Amino acid sequence: MEKIVESFELYGKSYRLETGELAKQATGAVLVTQGDTTVLVTAVVGKEKPDYDFFPLTVDFIEKMYAVGRIPGGYLKREARPSDKGTLTARMIDRPIRPGFPDGYKYEVHVVATTLVVDSVNPPDCICVAGASAALMVGGAPFDGPAACVRIARDIETGEFIVNPTFEEQEHSDLELTIAGTADYISMVEAGADEISEEDMLAAMTFGQEAIAAFCEKQAAFIAKANPEPMSYNVHEADPSIAARIEPFLDQMSAALKDADKHARMDKVAELKASIKENEFSEEECAAWGSDIAAELKKLEKHAMRAMVIETGERADGRTPEEIRPLHIVPGYLPRVHGSGLFQRGQTQALSICTLGMLNEWQRLDTIDPAEGKRYMHQYNFPPYSTGETGRMGAPKRREIGHGALAERALIPVLPDEDEFPYAIRVVSEVLESNGSSSMASTCGSTLALMDAGVPIKRPVSGIAMGLIKEGDDVVILSDIQGIEDFLGDMDFKVCGTEIGITSLQMDNKAKGLSVDILARALAQAKDGRAFILSAMLDEIAEPREELRDTAPRIETIHIPVDKIRDIIGTGGKVIRGIQDETGATIEVQEDGTVHIAAVEGPAGEAAKAIILGIVKEPEVGEVYDGEVVGIKDFGAFVKLTPGKDGLLHISRMANGRVAKVEDVLALGDIVKVEVIEVGDNGKISLDRVDKPDAPASSGNSDKGDNRPGRGDRKERSDRGNGGSSGKSEGGNNGRTPRRRH
């Protein structure tokens, strides 16, 4: 194939699609760019059709650090497993691509998006969907495209929508809506927002659908230039007699589905399926048609569930379409942890635990995005026992990363600023039972955990998962879907927000006729459901706790002059380590002079604060200190006023009367009350002793030197005046007053 290029501009940004030069052995390969950001997207369709009962589509997003001019960290200095961002991008490509293949298509398809250049201005993720669509269509795959994805932002000042914003434009937006689909329907939506209204979100979706259509038009022109030859493939068709024998059991399947208990219902359905298979098919037929029989039995279950909802308005567990399952809410479920919350809705149960730490415990990100790290971390775990199954547990799977990111996005808009609450915050949601909508349970449980921990969130967040049953023109929207309604329904639409507005949402769609009008109805119904759930949460905990748990660190913030930072840290960190070892507090010093002091025990934090303030404080004339004698010379004693600050107490100011030897009055380690009487331009400090004792009589008989004030003052100026240490005198004359020269 010769090189084919389609360059165009849309919504103020330049794009380019190119094929025919790179990766020519792939089924299809397209180089897609926005600005200078360049991604190679390849698609390979397997030649053999495996005996799977699912469509084997795999999507990988490969973050190459050379794309941003960096060498990967770690010992091996090469890219390792995908980052969370990379995993989320792979999911973002997969979800709008998967519905575009025909039912029954079982050939393996592998899509790989490799970042070649990321200009740190234009994100690479959205253009990958167009690249995947174009690569599949250039290769002639049976894909119902073109498909495209756009990100919609909204300028905070002007209110104007922005298509595929730059990183900088996104910083000045109160909305991040990612929407994908074709010119005719929406297949995927994800959004994070600063509590915007349902009406504004719907307007953004409508605008996004129009933008998708514009990108699909440009992609169609590119495909027309390539003029690909459609790929031939076979879709297996089952013997029609299988469906004919199974269809009469529709009423029995409907009866088996009517049970609110998930496992009881599953057992009844499995028992009915086994009975049909045993009584209606011979052993030979079961051996020959095994997968086809299983597929038709699944269709029977799907038809029965959907017909029940459409025709009677009753769901499998007996609820109406708008009804929420019973709630069980317990804030402060666990002792000692910094915050916790148990949230249960029906047979879905999540326990969220909040942990507070120093800001330097934030998560550092080694990705191609400009973001260096994040202060708030939400993690979601979905162990096999939550569905009553066995299985291996290890690194989080794509689904767990995706659900955790959704809940994290939902709560970020309500978190307090660092200045108000200088903590790193980690919330872990442990899904203990699952029967649909576990990500929304984790969102609600995490709100409880944050409030229980005393995090001053702006407003509490609740979430709900909405479903859809669409048969022709008949449409029923379901609130708080359970597992069967997710698997056999047409939409999984999760909406999170506060009483003011939406903070995040996510939608996956299987119905190609999904319109903006249906989404509007779903958003309105979700708003009512969120309000119901939020009211139940507030009945248990109305606002964040006023005090942190005793086990949580107390963080106090102080500000010091920037030129004093080196004094706090010390050579090689010696001073700051010493303060932490002495007090048990944890100290973080930032470049602007902000110091965070954390300690579980209050006295430890106060002690560390006092030491730091003492180090940076400049003593002033008239201030009185109880200082330790840290150095003795013939002419006086050096007294430690604060860490790193000493002053000179001249021998003439130690006692009432004549003192011949400093040791007659003071010894190393003595604590003496002194007053600052002079601070020189050079920073040297002169002291006077408060409540002077009388000089010992034996000291007055000494013939060592002269300690008259006049001569002592000269000695102070000529020898040292102030040290900060108890080293040798600067004059090298052992403290004696030099002779005058005539």
> Is the distance from CB of 660 to CB of 704 less than 8 angstroms?
yes
Helix axes 516-540, 198-226, angle to 10 degrees: 140
CATH architecture of 327-540: 2-Layer Sandwich (3.30)
- How big is the chain by its Cα radius of gyration, in Å? 36
Amino acid residing at 255: A
Annotated binding site for Mg(2+): 486, 492
What per-residue confidence (pLDDT) applies to 701? 47
Give alpha helix (H) positions in 483-601: 483-488, 516-540, 565-569, 574-583
Q: And the tokens for 87?
A: 């995993």
Q: Which residues pair with 13 in a beta bridge?
A: 10
Taking only the tens place, the pLDDT of each residue in 732-741 is 444 444 433 3
What per-residue confidence (pLDDT) applies to 736? 42
Taking only the tens place, the pLDDT of each residue in 386-421 is 999 998 888 889 899 999 999 999 999 999 998 899
> Is the distance from CB of 201 to CB of 186 less than 8 angstroms?
no
> Is the distance from CB of 382 to CB of 350 less than 8 angstroms?
no
What per-residue confidence (pLDDT) applies to 471? 86
What is the CATH number assigned to the segment(s) 240-312?
A: 1.10.10
DSSP helix/strand/coil, 384: helix
DSSP helix/strand/coil, 88: helix
Annotated binding site: 486, 492
Cis peptide before 146 (omega within 30 of 0): yes
Q: What are phi and psi of 467, to 5 degrees?
A: -125, 175
Domain ranges of the chain: 4-226, 240-312, 327-540, 554-616, 624-719
Helix axes 398-411, 438-452, angle to 10 degrees: 50
Taking only the tens place, the pLDDT of each residue in 675-725 is 999 998 887 999 999 989 998 887 654 444 444 444 444 334 334 344 443
4-226: CATH class: alpha beta
CATH architecture of 624-719: Beta Barrel (2.40)
What per-residue confidence (pLDDT) applies to 730? 38
What per-residue confidence (pLDDT) applies to 531? 97
Fold of 554-616: Ribosomal Protein S8; Chain: A, domain 1 (3.30.1370)
How far apart CA 350 and CA 382 sit, in angstroms, is 10
pTM: 0.82
Q: Which helix (H) or strand (E) holds 30?
A: strand 28-34
Region class of 687: left (phi > 0), else alpha (psi between -120 and 50), else beta: beta
3-class SS string, 110-134: EEEEEEEECCCCCCCHHHHHHHHHH
Taking only the tens place, the pLDDT of each residue in 650-672 is 999 999 988 889 998 999 999 99
Helix axes 198-226, 125-138, angle to 10 degrees: 40
Going by pLDDT thresholds of 50, 70 and 90, the confidence category of residue 472 is confident
DSSP helix/strand/coil, 561: coil
Q: How many other CB atoms sit within 10 Å of the CB of residue 651?
A: 28
Going by pLDDT thresholds of 50, 70 and 90, the confidence category of residue 513 is low
Taking only the tens place, the pLDDT of each residue in 114-125 is 999 999 999 999
Taking only the tens place, the pLDDT of each residue in 553-570 is 988 899 988 988 988 898
Going by pLDDT thresholds of 50, 70 and 90, the confidence category of residue 459 is very high
> Is the distance from CB of 587 to CB of 560 less than 8 angstroms?
no
Q: What is the dihedral of CA 519, 520, 525, 527, to 10 degrees?
A: 110
How far apart CA 12 and CA 243 sit, in angstroms, is 54
Q: Which residues pair with 149 in a beta bridge?
A: 180
739 Cβ neighbours under 8 A, 6+ residues apart: none
* Fold match, 4-226 / 327-540: yes
Distance from the Cα of residue 599 to its chain's centroid: 25
- With 70 as the cut, is the pLDDT of residue 528 above it? yes
Taking only the tens place, the pLDDT of each residue in 144-195 is 989 999 999 999 999 999 999 999 999 999 999 999 999 988 889 999 999 9
DSSP helix/strand/coil, 256: helix
Going by pLDDT thresholds of 50, 70 and 90, the confidence category of residue 300 is very high
265 Cβ neighbours under 8 A, 6+ residues apart: 256, 257, 258, 259, 316, 484
How far apart CA 737 and CA 731 sit, in angstroms, is 10
What per-residue confidence (pLDDT) applies to 702? 45
Mean pLDDT, the chain, whole residue set: 89
What per-residue confidence (pLDDT) applies to 725? 39
How far apart CA 274 and CA 277 sit, in angstroms, is 5
Q: What percent of the chain has pLDDT over 90?
A: 68
